[in-house]
Amino acid sequence: MPVSETKLLMKYADEPGYTPGIESYLAVGGYEMLKKAVGMKPEDIRGEVKASGLRGRGGAGFPCGVKWDLVDRKSGKPIYLICNCDESEPGTFKDRQLVHKDPHQLIEGMMISAFANDVKFAVIYIREEMPKGAKILDAAIDEARARGFVGSNICGTGFSCELIVHRGAGAYICGEETGLIESLEGKRAYPRIKPPYFPAVLGLYNCPTIVNNVETLCNVVHILRMGAAEYCKIGRPNNTGTRLWCVSGHVQRPGYYEVAGITMGQLLYDLCGGPLPGRSFKAIVPGGGSMKILRYDEKFKGKKPDGAAYEYGVDDIPLDFDGVAAAGSMSGSAGMMVMDDSVDILEALANLMQFYAHESCGQCTPCREGSQWARKITARMCSSNAKPGDLDTLYDMAGNIGGRTVCPMGFSTTWPVQSYIDKFRDEIEAKARDNRCGMPREARLIQK
Amino acid sequence: MSEPTKDDGLISVNIDGVDVRCRPGDNIVEVAASAGCEIPHYCYHPKLSISGNCRMCLVEMGLPGKDRATGKNLTNPDGSPLIQWFPGPAIGCGTKAAPGMHIRTKSEMVTKCREGVMEFLLLNHPLDCPICDQAGECRLQEFSTHYGRGYSRFLEEKNVKPKRTVLGPRVILDDERCILCSRCIRFSREIAKDDVLGFTDRGSYSTLTCYPGRQLENNYSLNTVDICPVGALTSTDFRFKMRVWFLKQTPSIDTETSVGCNTEVWSREGKIYRITPRRNDEVNDTWMPDSGRVLYKQVEAGNRLQQSLVRGQTAALDEALREATALLKNGPVAVVGSGRSSVEEQFLLAKLAAALGGAKAQLVSRVGEGDDLLVSKDKNPNVRGALVSGLIDALPEAKLDGLAASIDSGKVKTLLVVGEDLTLAGLSEAQLAKVAIVYIGTHLDATAAKAAVVVAGLTVFEKFGSFVNQQFRLQKFQKAVPGPAGATDDLVVLASLLANVSGSQAPSTLESVWTAMSAERPVLAGLSYARIQATGTLLDGAAWSGLPFVETKTLHFEPAAKPVLAVAGA
């Protein structure tokens, strides 16, 4: 039987007639959880969130409750809450949906989180390239403030928390939490060195700071509504709740899907309609452009509870943090990019390298120089100028980037390069050979 | 040195298998260096905040393992602590020493990291070392030899970045050589307090630039050139003048104010090419003002005295000294010394003043604007030297009104002046015309022009000596270049005059002057020129602590924020 979506965050947003306005949100029970929250003890809310097992939806999947626990509450300094809406990973567009279609859900989630963490000032850091989202959020905050859900004396309880929208200037690095904080402080968005400065202790203006993704904060509303125990029933243990998967590329019905507890094959076939007519799947990038690519015909080794080994394919990968990780990649920001047999894998890699070379912030030597080098090599291989040994150089050089930089974004060059070469070396070498003696790049692309 | 004991607050850090004692929180790059182990680095500078971006100092790090459940230390079968190594490399500059920490600086992973970083750094860097002005002082060159892979795999076209970008009146940027270590940015912000530099553009197109409408023009701008680890920032004054390996380095002291910044004078074949700071953590850290760097130009200034003069005519030293002696013996003499003379010269001058009638010499005060960094209000480098040597008892005054009155009343017939232009100290030309002047100095000023006898002396770059700075720190300077053939060391001149006037032998060498000084001046007891340490010797200035000195504080780098230790689990 075909699976269906498990709608939690997008339950109402996708309904016909539902608008980003506050009336729509109130009509479906909006802000009831905030009213409930301000009557609770903050530590009880934090306990619920921790018990829910909610893992951060920004990419790393760090448990939200644990992140909140790390906050230094004894420093006497104000605690800040930042909503990371700097969504810019290739293939990822889920936060945009939440902001555009149901901004009050985010605001409510933020206000509950603010109350739970004694936050008096919260910020939504939104990417420059989402001007519409910024306008929607501004309007929504005004509405919420007029109703007493944001600002001073929230819900008449004496709890006050200001919420503002801050528009970034458009840089990939601003999605990294310390780069975001630097940007918010008005500086060039260079990530901070960690350790010792973790945002939970020294974040915005050297005060304890929580940085959470849009989807993570939206989930807080539902955790409170359902209770941790009930929430945990969605998904698998350690992978609780739903996830908004963004599927782009060569499927019949690309888009975003809110699902829980299904496999990659169920998403690709049941929800996305399978490959385009006459085509077959070739490769999947599961969690956004920086994640390792999976060959569609790849086989993985698993272990059943009784210890027996078995083999499974891409279609059977459980679609959650641990499932994708077990297959050697990461679910990251859940931006799934699907490639069918029409894709020139070398072109795809060159395209990604162009992105990461452009977006490298330039702070650390390996990422700054390595990403540009990878771009140049892959672009050259795509033109008629590939040289023997290019791939070995590329592979080895990429290995010198990831894990050697201030922030984890060095991996954005390393992982694609190494996984594309690991999985498709023969094809890339053949393409490079063909390109060398073949027709100009533009002509080849048009012919496809 | 005695072996540190357990309760001295020190901890043990293991570097490449060798236990090194250090303070908790010490920087690992420094700890390794103290053990004779070099961790190469570009962006790290001991006096600046940590940026950790060059990634050259990557090392492997491990900590003693703890059992999560019980909190007990994990041990190997032989009972030694079990070291849990981090899976990836860590930056040495951002790592603080912790008890039991293990560091590997020569492992396979570290070697590969360094080769990788060197290769990346050189990708877009022009490999034009033979013409680069930083040759000889370029760490890119040095580290590529020591830690690089030896060849490049880069087949692509290099990025083309601008050349000869003028950042300010004294600093030029060759963009294509910049490795974006941000030392210059951090220096401007943290030390010079002139936040004027920043990066613009992204990725490998990032470039260093001044903020719009601003220039790197503060009085400390040339320090950015000193700390630039590659050939990106160069001094407009020194650029392409001379290869550094041809130059001789002579330790010296900046004479522009009483701070007494420690300097290095770079010369070749009797010509000075530049002055750079010399590290002295007690005085100037590793910095010095731009204004002190151009002082070498006084050596070849147009008004430099090349010969002694008697009544305006060139004269041999003997003749000048004979004339001077006659004038000094002739009548009541007033002595004006200099806060720019060395301690030794001041001591001899004090002797000479005593021999000439017992009156104390006077000094001319020179007070201007200080900057709370390395330029103090007192523009004399050695007022305290004059106190220490016994030349004066009270602080100098800006205007020599008493002297002017004495001249007017005819109480003074002869003036012995060392290196001071009295027209700037309140005396009129008419007053100077009333007396016979014996002038010992280096440059032809209004007073020298009026003098009956002028004896050409040596600048601070041309002789040995010492100054006492505002902390009462006795610091020595050394001779970098010979002076003009017709100029003579003040010590010799003063000793000759003293001998002529008193009729007895006078000490004329540094050693003999010091023998006399340490015997006569209790504050210098037990000292000799050779025993003054390279970073200076602090004297007990308690005897003069009540005097109203004009200086404010000296520069010392203090980190902006106290480091906070990482939280658990993160």
pLDDT of res. A442: 65
Taking an 8 Å cut-off on Cβ atoms, the answer to whether B198 and A364 are in contact is no
Q: pLDDT band for position B360 (50/70/90)?
A: confident
Given the structure tokens 């960690």, which residue do they identify?
Answer: A194
**pLDDT tens, residue by residue, A310-362:** 999 999 999 999 999 999 999 999 999 999 999 999 999 999 999 999 999 99
What residue ranges in B278-312 does DSSP mark as E strands?
Answer: 308-310
DSSP letter string, A174-219:
GGSHHHHHHHHTTS--PPPPTTT--TTTS-GGGS-EEEEEHHHHHH
Give the C-alpha separation, A322 to A301, whole Å: 14
pLDDT mean across residues, chain B: 92
Residue A277 sits at the chain B interface (C-beta within 8 Å): no
Q: What pLDDT score does B330 carry?
A: 85
Q: Is B116 in CB contact (< 8 Å) with chain A? A: yes
- Rounded to the nearest angstrom, the minimum Cα separation between A77 and chain B is 14
**Using CA atoms, how far apart are residues A427 and B398, in angstroms rounded to an integer?**
85
pLDDT, residue B561, reads 43
A363–B56 CB contact, under 8 Å: no
Place of tokens 């490399």: B89
Determine, for residues A377 and B88 on separate chains, whether the beta-carbon distance falls below 8 Å: no
pLDDT at B42: 96
Kindly report, residue by residue over B437-460, the tens digit of the pLDDT.
999 999 999 999 999 999 999 999
CB atoms B156 and A387 under 8 Å: no
- Nearest residue, CB atoms, B203 vs list A201, A371, A399: A371
- CA gap A400, A384 in Å, rounded: 27
Neighbours of A60 (CB within 10 A): 14
Residue of B nearest to A379 (CA): B156
Q: Report pLDDT for A197.
A: 75
Looking at chain A, which residue has its C-alpha nearest residue B123?
Answer: A369
* A405 vs B: CB within 8 A: yes
At residue B562, the pLDDT reads: 42
Q: Mind spelling out the 3-state secondary structure of B146-214?
A: HHCCCCCCCCCCCCCCCCCEECCCCEEECHHHCCCCCHHHHHHHHCCCCCCEEEECCHHHCEEEECCCC
User: Which residue type, as a one-letter code, is found at position B271?
Assistant: K
B89–chain A Cβ distance below 8 A for any pair:
yes
Which of B115, B156, B202 has its CB closest to that of A377? Answer: B156
A219-235 pLDDT, tens digit per residue, is 999 999 999 999 999 99
Task: Dump pLDDT digits (tens) for B13-61.
Answer: 999 999 999 999 999 999 999 999 999 999 999 999 999 999 999 999 9
Please choose, from the candidates A424, A417, A410, A380, the residue with its C-alpha nearest in 3D space to the C-alpha of residue A396. Answer: A417
To the nearest 10°, report the CA torsion of B96, A365, A406, A373.
Answer: -150
H or E segment to which residue B334 belongs: strand B333-336
3-class DSSP state for residue A150? Answer: coil
Chain B contact for A354 (CB, 8 A cutoff): no
Partner residue opposite A366 with nearest CB, options B94, B120, B155: B120
Q: What is the pLDDT of residue B556?
A: 72
Quick: pLDDT tens for B160-172.
Answer: 899 999 999 999 9
C-alpha to C-alpha distance for B325 and B165, rounded to whole angstroms: 58
Scanning B69-88 for CB atoms below 8 A from A yields: 88
User: What pLDDT sits at residue B554?
Assistant: 73
Segments of chain A with pLDDT less than 70? 436-448
pLDDT at B200: 94
Q: Is residue A68 less than 8 Å (CB to CB) from chain B?
A: no
Arithmetic mean of pLDDT, B118-139: 91
Distance to chain A for B568, nearest Cα, Å = 8
Q: Does the beta carbon of B112 lie under 8 angstroms from any beta carbon of chain A?
A: yes
Query: What three-state secondary structure class fits A311?
Result: strand
Residue A443 is predicted with a pLDDT of: 64
Interface A–B counts its CB contacts (< 8 A) at 129
Chain A residues 171-210 within an 8 A CB cutoff of chain B = 171, 188, 190, 193-198, 200-202, 206
Q: What local confidence, expressed as pLDDT, does residue B559 receive?
A: 52
Token pair in block for residue B236: 């407009």
What is residue B558's predicted lDDT score, i.e. its pLDDT? 61
Give residue-wise pLDDT tens across range B236-274. Answer: 999 999 999 999 999 999 999 999 999 999 999 999 999
Q: Which residues contact B119 (CB under 8 A, 6 or more apart)?
A: A397, A400, B148, B149, B152, B153, B154
Facing residue for B564 by CB, picked from A202, A357, A366: A202
Contact yes or no for B289/B219 (Cβ under 8 A) = yes
* Bond into B229 cis (ω within 30): no
Q: Which residue intervals of A227-362 are DSSP H helices?
A: 228-232, 264-265, 321-326, 345-359
Report pLDDT for A304: 87
Q: Which of A205, A210, A368 to mutate to test the interface with B (most CBs of B within 10 A)?
A: A368
Give the burial class of B36: count Cβ atoms within 10 A of its Cβ; 0-12 exposed, 13-18 middle, 19 or more buried. exposed
Residue B204 and residue A362 in contact, taking contact as beta carbons nearer than 8 Å: yes
* ipTM of the complex model: 0.92
The pLDDT, as a whole number, for residue B8 is 76
Look at residue B560 and tell me whether its pLDDT is greater than 60: no
Q: What value does the mean pLDDT take over residues B536-548?
A: 92
Give the sign of the dihedral formed by CA B452, CA B455, CA B459, CA B460. Answer: negative
Tokens representing B361?
């010499």
For B203, which of A72, A196, A360 is closest by C-beta distance?
Answer: A360
Q: Please report the pLDDT score of residue A440 as a whole number.
A: 61
Burial A301-312 (b: 16+ CB within 10 A, else e): eeeeeeeeeeeb
Q: Helix, strand, or coil here: B59?
A: strand
Positions of E strands within A314-415: 335-340
Q: Which stretch of DSSP H or E encloses residue B454?
A: strand B453-456
β strands within B65-167, DSSP E? 83-85, 90-91, 102-104, 165-166
Query: Beta-strand (E) ranges in A260-346?
Result: 281-285, 294-295, 299-303, 309-313, 335-340
Asked if residue B569 has pLDDT above 50, the reply is: no
Mean pLDDT of the B276-285 span: 94
Q: How distant is the alpha carbon of residue A307 from its chain centre?
A: 33
With beta carbons less than 8 A apart as the criterion, state whether B404 and B431 touch. yes
